[in-house]
Amino acid sequence: MVNNDIKNTIILLAGDYSNVINEHQSKNILTLKVKDRSVVQVDEIEKLDEVISISVVQNRIRIQLIKKYLKEDVIMAKKKDFKQLANTIVENVGGKDNINGLRHCITRLRFRLKDESLANKDVLENTDGIISVVKGGGEYMVVIGNDVVKAYNAVNDVLGISEGQLDQHASSVDKQNPIMKVINAVVGSVMPALNFICAGGVLKGLLTILSMTGLLDAKDGLYILINAMGDAVFFFLPIILGYNFAKHMKGDPFLGLVIGAILCYPAVNGVDLKLFGIATKATYTSSFLPVIAITAIAVIIERFLKKYIPSVVSGFLVPVITLLIVIPLGFALVGPFVNGASNAVNAGLNFLLGSSPIIAGLVFGGLYQVMVLFGIHQAATSISFMNVLSGKPDQIMAMGVLVCFAQVGVVLAIYLKTKDKKLKGIALPAVISGLFGITEPAIYGVTLPRLKMFIISCIGGALTGAFIMATGVTMYSFTGLGLVTFLGLVSPKNPDFILPIIAALIGFVFSFVAAFALYKDNDSDLVVSTEVADDKSKDTVVTYTVKSPLAGIVHELTEVPDQVFASGALGNGVAIQPATNEVFAPADATVTALMPSKHAIGLTLDNGAELLIHVGIDTVNLNGQYYDYLVKENQIVKAGEQLMTFDRQAIEAAGYKTITPIIITNSSEFGTINVLAKDRVQVGDLLLDFSI
């Protein structure tokens, strides 16, 4: 609710209660209806620190306020209260029993849920500390931002489990597709060690700079030591991945660690080995996929052996037998096969990129932020990421880390140009996080709600991608995201920062200039009219009509056999006993509420009215049976567009009434709501009107 002191100040500036004839509060929105709008000191109200925006439509004043708890010290306290945030998240993803798995990337908690319909997206997205909620690739992603690790740990605490152990509580039924399972397993093996991988990349980049500037010579002891620091994490990568992957697979993590160590053992790398009549020669240090494949087989064998070997000897006997089986098998068949498949995929990608590199750069660079939006960017770059970790330079990863600067350019332009206080407060932190490669706050908080700005950032990303592919900018080591990424884009053999910097600047400068030129605060959201032309305009009333979404017989709302609807507690309106099985949009609107049970639909009309169409009474108990939606949440629909279908005969046969209340849930923000239709209506007939 709005703070009383703030409200009283605003009412005083609006001419006090002698001029204010009605007031309505909804969250941080204060709506006033006044007798004479010329008395209202709009400019003075807008100057108040607590006011984000003010709009004036005829004699109705709508003021958006900063929520009273949004003070800097309390914001920081709330950000630190990750236990409360975790409780909210767990509750609104359907509870602990609905969670099949949980991992995190750099900005997102990635849940695998048994039933996504049990999650409450609206509550999550309106929770402080959560940027957005995204669904994609079989995952339900809660976007947190920079504090994702703290949120992840807090969620694990709430669930009462240790990191990485969530799946032992999960159902055996996992609807995630096999490809995403593999990708998630591989990525899940990297994420726990990502900070050390980045650290190794940064050290290698710094060493290149120190050598290039002559501050260190390759023979210096410090050079050799720093080189060891940077190389070790990559050289012994199979050990790190083996440990994490075995843990992820619910096997003994030390089994994976030992397999990784064997793959790095000097005596078996780069030498001719003849096993089962098969001659092999391979090097597995710094490799990625072989240890994953061999460990996956080892964990399966380990589980099998534990079922049949007595526990008194299984502690040492299971590892012995497992290693005796998988290591020869791995060196003879699995490792060579995986390496061959990986090389074939890389050859295919290189062929596609090489056949038309500039077009490939335009497409990938332009679509990368769209992939971020749907949370599939990790899948799109997974092979390239493996290449870099294995010591193979890669251009796709270079595009992935540099296109973010186009997003930063757009948001910086908006920050400098907007007069909206709240938007400035969102944009500046988004610019800062974007400079460090975290673009979700910029995308979800700033550019995506202003689609033109998001498109500009995609065009900037496309230009960056085209330049990268045309000039050969390449990632040599993974050093992290944002500004620090340039250290990984410098070739150790030919150190040069110029081309990577130009690539980033192309997207940044284009996006900044285009956004600065084209961005305008949406005047219709701020002030429609603050001037009074004459006395007649003060009393002008705008009337809106709503058409019937159903064909059937009209009833007064009081005739609905449900006291909540009949009393008007949910808002004023009308009811229809349907004669057909279709529901249509009664006006131009946005779909803002869909139910798991599919028995009702919420619309926000273009004039701000919030309309609920509730097909039947107590039909939520049917759990979606006999109902089907034809639209999606947040979809924009036109008057007359079909929204949903239902089987009224089957619903009635199941013992439920199909009378359908049609109500304006924010009725108090408007004038009298009049029922225009009588007796029988067809779809599209005038049903209601109301005034502003």
Q: Which residues are catalytic?
A: 105
Vertex 463: Cα angle to 460 and 467 (nearest 5): 145
- C-alpha distances in angstroms, 595 versus 199, 555, 600? 46, 24, 6
Tokens of 312: 């008194």
Non-local CB neighbours of 405 within 8 Å, separated by 6+ positions? 434, 460, 464, 504, 505, 507, 508
DSSP state of 475: B
Helix (H, G, I), strand (E, B), or coil: what is residue 601? strand
DSSP per-residue string spanning 660-682: EEEEETTGGGSS--EE---SEE-
Contact 600, 614 (CB under 8 A): yes
Q: Return d(Cα 507, Cα 443) in angstroms, integer.
A: 16
Close Cβ partners of 37 (under 8 Å, ≥ 6 residues apart): 56, 58, 59, 61, 532, 538
**HSE (CB half, 13 Å, CA atoms) of 565?**
24
297-299-302-303 Cα dihedral, nearest 10 degrees: -110
Degrees to nearest 5, angle at CA 90 with 122 and 192: 115
Backbone angles phi, psi at 644, to 5 degrees: -160, 165
- On whether the CB atoms of residues 683 and 585 are closer than 8 A, the answer is no
Q: What are the tokens at 327?
A: 């290591």
Handedness of CA 266, 267, 271, 276 (dihedral sign): negative
Tokens of 420: 């909206």
Contact 186, 389 (CB under 8 A): no
**C-alpha triplet 56, 123, 151: angle, nearest 5°:** 120
Nearest to 402 by CA among 496, 470, 459, 486: 486
Smallest CA-to-CA distance from 488 within 475, 503, 507, 473 is with: 475
Which stretches within 249-356 are classed as H helix? 253-264, 289-308, 311-329, 335-355
76: alpha, beta or left, given left = phi > 0 and alpha = psi -120 to 50? alpha
* Distance of alpha carbon 328 from alpha carbon 461, whole angstroms: 47
Identify whether the C-beta of residue 639 lies closer than 8 Å to the C-beta of residue 586.
yes
DSSP conformation letters of 14-47: TT-TTTEEEEEEETTEEEEEES-GGGS-HHHHHH
Query: How does strand 99-104 pair with strand 108-113?
Result: antiparallel
Directed axis angle between helix 178-190 and helix 289-308, to 10°?
A: 100
CA distances to 420, 422, 451 from 53, rounded to whole Å, are 7, 9, 21
What DSSP designation does 472 have?
A: T
Q: Which residue has the tokens 């500390």?
A: 129
Q: Are strands 674-675 and 686-691 parallel, antiparallel or unpaired?
A: antiparallel
